[in-house]
Amino acid sequence: MTDKASSISMGPEYLSLEVIQAIQHNDVPRLKLLQKCGTNFNMCDQAGNTVFHLAIQNHAKEATLDTFEYLLTLDDITKDEFNSFARTPLMEAFGTNDGEIYAIRLIESGCNVDHIYPDGNNVLQLAVYNNWIEVAELLIERGINIEYQNEDGLTALHIAVKKGYIDIVWMLLFFGADPNTTHMDYYETENGCVCVYFTFFDLVEQLRTLHRTLEVFPDQFYCYKKNFSLYTFIEAMQRESPMFYRLLEITCDINFTYDELKELALSFSELNPKMLMIFTQEFGYILEEMLCRCCLEDLFWCLGPYYLHNYAQNLFMLLESSVSDTFVDKINASNLALLTILIQCFAESRELVDLLCQILCCMASYGVDITADALNALYVTFGYCDLFKIMLHMDIKQMERCTGKNVVFPRLLYDVNLSIESVISGTYDEPTAYKISQYFILPKYRLVQEFSVPTLLELARNRAREYIIKKFKVKNSRDFYTVLRVLPLAEYHKKIISFEVKLYSL
């Protein structure tokens, strides 16, 4: 025997290392020599990897199938052993780049396809996740359970629809995948446990119907048009499913009920802005119908900090779309203080004040009324901020009912017809009196002990405001602040006249 051959027969541990090194170097001649010498290829490394595990793992370094194909020719080598990570060689292939060919060859060689991956998926579901249609078809032909549900209750068909892999959807339906298999979430209520069906069930059912039609003319898929339900598109936009764009290609029209219109409104802040824009361009009449038949409250019933960016983009889209006039008329005709609610929502995320400014200015530019209620809420929430100053230059709609707290002082800033004397002589709670006393002497409250009468500066400011209003025939805050901006006065004096500067420190 040669020196080389004798070195191979030094013991099983050395032989195991020889096999591993040969696989790592893609050394088929070396493997053939080891096999000829009677080496046991069924042993594992310290991590429990078999020769097939190692060959697949080595693919990232040596992009060749030579070693793997040679090992498949050997008899009595198990292909279904689990390594320390509870993965068989077939499972290992799904976690490897370009591992599809390994999976195909293992399945063709007769490996067990019924093992469950550690995360609860079977190998058919792994194939669907990877969009490996040929592997998925082979697995079905080998008898894998096509209706297996993972720990989340999802079947392979659910996953294919959710991922938007329409070719795999058609293939699964062709092999008899049941769209009536549902993924169910359970929610506890006062009346017990309520079952909510998987949200893509409606979409899958419609795809099944479409598939039956296409069985006769499969080559006419892109020419075929079908009516879909509005609920299907709502779910696709909420979940940002790639299926949304494929659905548009085959949609002739959309059927909808009042409940679906209401669901569209309730989901408004959760819809993907880009998808909603495309949807509006294609089916603007549905948004028009939603605005006409649903309440404004539905558009922001679940609005919170998490949805503000989405909500803002969707608002901008509506204002710039074909339904803009309907949207603005709906807001202005409603008794709902929409802008006030928006301001209160943004109060929880003060870093988004710039976004709030863009929303309010955009809505005003499209004709949405700026209400006194909104200014009150803005002042109470953010004080004399830049956005408040901007809104003072807009037309302000007076409301019969104000919902803001301590609204007396903001009214002095935007209601030029409000008499200062009537404000001073009015009856207020302590916080309101405290606020006004920073700009006026209120003897009845005696909050400023050292003064019993107004200072000359306060009297001069009051007379200056009255003179400007009378001289230039000012009718609203927009006129007042426009005139004040061009008057030849020092900026500090303008701030005193506009109540931006406090006269008294309490």
Can you tell me the distance from the alpha carbon of 480 to that of 469, in angstroms, rounded to the nearest whole number? 7
Would you say residue 468 has pLDDT above 90?
yes
Quick one: average pLDDT of 31-58?
79
pLDDT digits (tens, 9 = 90+) for 383-421: 888 888 888 888 888 765 544 445 677 888 888 887 777
Quick one: average pLDDT of 28-35?
82
Give the confidence band of 135 by pLDDT, cuts at 50, 70, 90.
very high
Report the DSSP pairing between strands 192-197 and 226-229: unpaired
Residue 206, pLDDT score: 54
Strand-pairing partners, residue 229, are: 255
pLDDT digits (tens, 9 = 90+) for 280-303: 999 999 999 999 998 888 887 666
Question: Which of 347 and 89 is assigned the larger pLDDT?
Answer: 89
- What's 41's DSSP letter? T
Would you say residue 81 has pLDDT above 60?
yes
Give the confidence band of 308 by pLDDT, cuts at 50, 70, 90.
confident
* Candidate ranges 14-28, 240-254, 480-494; pick with highest mean pLDDT: 480-494
What is residue 186's three-state secondary structure? strand
Residue 187, pLDDT score: 41
Q: Are 299 and 292 in contact (CB under 8 A)?
A: no
Nearest alpha carbon to residue 321 among 263, 377, 276: 276
Question: Which of 421 and 325 is assigned the larger pLDDT?
Answer: 325
Can you tell me the distance from the alpha carbon of 217 to that of 201, in angstroms, rounded to the nearest whole number? 25
Quick one: average pLDDT of 313-317?
90
Can you tell me the distance from the alpha carbon of 360 to that of 342, in angstroms, rounded to the nearest whole number? 9
Amino acid at 270: E
Would you say residue 5 has pLDDT above 50?
no
Can you tell me the distance from the alpha carbon of 305 to that of 324, in angstroms, rounded to the nearest whole number? 25
pLDDT digits (tens, 9 = 90+) for 150-174: 888 888 988 887 777 878 887 887 7
Distance in angstroms between the alpha carbons of the first and the last residue of the chain? 106
Question: Which of 191 and 87 is assigned the larger pLDDT?
Answer: 87
Report the DSSP pairing between strands 251-255 and 226-229: parallel
pLDDT digits (tens, 9 = 90+) for 238-293: 878 776 887 787 788 888 889 889 999 999 988 999 999 999 999 999 999 999 99
Can you tell me the distance from the alpha carbon of 265 to that of 296, in angstroms, rounded to the nearest whole number? 8
Quick one: average pLDDT of 93-108?
84
Nearest alpha carbon to residue 340 among 293, 285, 403: 403
Would you say residue 8 has pLDDT above 70?
no
Q: Which of 47-56, 193-202, 357-366 has the lowest mean pLDDT?
A: 193-202
Would you say residue 15 has pLDDT above 70?
no
Quick one: average pLDDT of 139-158?
87
Across all residues in the chain, what is the average pLDDT? 78
Give the confidence band of 219 by pLDDT, cuts at 50, 70, 90.
very low
Residue 273, pLDDT score: 92
Residue 218, pLDDT score: 43
* pTM for this entry: 0.55
Longest dimension (CA), the chain: 121
Give the confidence band of 192 by pLDDT, cuts at 50, 70, 90.
very low
Quick one: average pLDDT of 486-491?
92
